[in-house]
């Protein structure tokens, strides 16, 4: 309930700052100032929580100390500033961090042991994800799958679903609406269409791989050459502001939801997904705050839309497949993403969505957007076999 209410507040304020930016495009020139403010905020008050989602994953794997509650207000403020001034970022990271910080309060209050604390962290992730996207089933599964189903007991599974639905209905109670999507036309399930689905799934996996590598690249580059952390988003903000001015459009900044909606009916340019990857990776790598998931939706949706000129399948279905498949590849969560696709686009599309998510999962490499995520399960064994084959071959 607390996480759901926090997500409702976050969604309302995020929409508010987005509208301010859209109505006053000159604010984009404040990107350096906004970035510097975020940098100073974390430099003086947030060094212990600057890892964000990675901190949650690290504490789950090896519990040491409670997540500082200041993670919640810091990431909220940082994300709102990022979107106000025109950074390219998402919202899932913010909601998950808020949910994790709130949930972990109970660890201290009730003196929970390591096993119960892991459960609490799963519940925080589940509540944050489910409430911000309006997908309770996917939220519950994402929280379980992102920690690779390890060290999870039955109680965690049940409670993850319970809190996901509570958080989801809490947002509904506050009358905060989520974006609605539709895939009105589905092709026949036959061999040809399944082959096309596998082929596009591979491309979605490559896009996920490029997104993850790009984000890590910019983060490492800024960390290597700019030692004083607050200067990184300042410099990044200057480059972003000039770049946005030079390309003459704001379609690649913010969440990009209008462009995602447009992609379902109008084919995108072949370079749209690449520019979103570049802008998002640079924004987050420079030190601005926000999530990666909605930009991943943008990347997958616009790539699927662009592929509609080549692939003989309905454009809305290709967009829907890319929407969740790129997310699946970048987070190593094919089950949650398949369920999310069915929650968003209808259960009838499940076969195509599921195949695309699984194929993207296997073709996206072993590195995802969360550096601290430990990759286990089928992908881990798949790449182990590939590495052994290479050693035997050479």
pLDDT digits (tens, 9 = 90+) for 348-378: 999 999 999 999 999 998 889 998 887 776 7
In this prediction, residue 155 carries a pLDDT of 73
Does residue 6 carry a pLDDT above 90?
A: yes
The per-type count for the chain, helices as H runs and strands as E runs, is: 18, 0
CB proximity list for 175: less than 8 A, separation 6 or greater: none
Cα separation, 10 vs 212, whole angstroms? 25
CATH of 191-378, one of 3.40.50.300, 3.20.20.140, 1.10.3080.10, 3.40.50.720: 1.10.3080.10
Cα separation, 67 vs 108, whole angstroms? 10
Does residue 153 carry a pLDDT above 70?
A: no
- Beta-bridge mates of residue 291: 90
3-state secondary structure of 136: helix
Other Cβ atoms closer than 10 A to 9: 15
In this prediction, residue 56 carries a pLDDT of 93
Give the CATH number of domain 2-173: 1.10.3080.10
By the 10 Å C-beta count (0-12 exposed, 13-18 middle, 19+ buried), 189 is classed as exposed
Cα separation, 367 vs 115, whole angstroms? 27
In this prediction, residue 149 carries a pLDDT of 56
In this prediction, residue 53 carries a pLDDT of 93
Q: How far is CA 62 from the centre of its chain?
A: 23
Does 2-173 match 191-378 in CATH topology?
Answer: yes
Dihedral over Cα of 201, 203, 207, 208: its sign: positive
Residues 195-224, mean pLDDT to the nearest whole number: 97
Q: Model-level pTM?
A: 0.94
What confidence tens digit (pLDDT) does each residue in 45-101 have?
Answer: 999 999 999 999 999 888 888 899 999 999 999 999 999 999 999 998 999 999 999
Residues 335-358, mean pLDDT to the nearest whole number: 96
Two tokens, residue 287: 């030190």
Does residue 289 carry a pLDDT above 90?
A: yes
Average pLDDT, the chain: 92
By the 10 Å C-beta count (0-12 exposed, 13-18 middle, 19+ buried), 309 is classed as exposed
State the residue for tokens 């998510």: 357
Could you state, in order of their start, the residue ranges of all structural domains in the chain? 2-173, 191-378
Residues 153-165, mean pLDDT to the nearest whole number: 85
Cα separation, 254 vs 247, whole angstroms? 15
Distances (CA, A) of 217 to 325, 332, 344: 22, 19, 32
In this prediction, residue 152 carries a pLDDT of 64
In this prediction, residue 392 carries a pLDDT of 60
Q: Which of 173, 183, 155 is nearest to 320 (CA)?
A: 183
61 φ/ψ angles, rounded to the nearest 5 degrees:
-70, -40
Residues 325-353, mean pLDDT to the nearest whole number: 96
């Amino acid at each position: 309930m607390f996480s759901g209410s926090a997500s409702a507040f976050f969604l309302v304020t995020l929409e508010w700052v987005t509208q301010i930016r859209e109505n006053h495009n000159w604010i984009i020139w404040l990107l350096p100032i906004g970035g510097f403010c975020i940098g100073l905020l974390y430099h003086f008050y947030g060094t212990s929580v600057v890892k964000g989602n990675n901190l949650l994953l690290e504490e789950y794997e090896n519990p040491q100390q409670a997540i500082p509650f200041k993670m919640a207000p810091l990431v909220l403020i940082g994300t709102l500033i990022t979107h106000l001034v025109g950074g390219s970022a998402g919202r899932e990271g913010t909601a998950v961090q808020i949910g994790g910080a709130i949930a972990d309060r109970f660890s201290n209050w009730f003196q929970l042991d390591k096993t119960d604390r892991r459960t609490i962290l799963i519940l925080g992730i589940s509540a944050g994800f489910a409430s911000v996207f309006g997908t309770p089933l996917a939220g519950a599964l994402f929280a379980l799958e992102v920690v690779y189903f390890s060290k999870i007991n039955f109680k965690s599974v049940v409670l993850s679903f319970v809190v996901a639905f509570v958080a989801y209905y809490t947002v509904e109670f506050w009358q905060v609406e989520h974006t609605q999507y539709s895939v009105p036309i589905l092709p026949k399930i036959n061999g040809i269409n399944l082959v096309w689905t596998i082929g596009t799934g591979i491309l979605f996996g490559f896009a996920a791989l490029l997104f993850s590598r790009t984000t890590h690249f910019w983060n490492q580059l800024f960390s290597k050459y700019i030692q004083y952390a607050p200067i990184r988003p300042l410099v990044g903000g200057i480059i972003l502001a000039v770049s946005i001015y030079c390309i003459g459009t704001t379609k690649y900044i913010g969440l990009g939801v209008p462009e995602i909606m447009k992609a379902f009916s109008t084919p995108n340019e072949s370079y749209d997904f690449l520019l979103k990857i570049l802008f998002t990776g640079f924004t987050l790598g420079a030190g601005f705050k926000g999530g990666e998931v909605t930009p991943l939706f943008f990347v997958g949706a616009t790539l699927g839309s662009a592929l509609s000129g080549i692939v003989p399948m309905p454009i809305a279905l290709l967009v829907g497949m890319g929407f969740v498949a790129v997310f699946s590849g970048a987070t190593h969560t094919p089950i949650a993403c398949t369920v999310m696709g069915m929650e968003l686009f209808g259960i009838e599309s499940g076969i195509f969505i599921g195949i695309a998510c699984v194929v993207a999962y296997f073709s996206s490499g072993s590195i995802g957007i969360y550096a601290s995520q430990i990759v286990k399960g089928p992908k881990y064994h798949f790449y182990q076999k590939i590495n052994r084959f290479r050693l035997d071959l050479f």
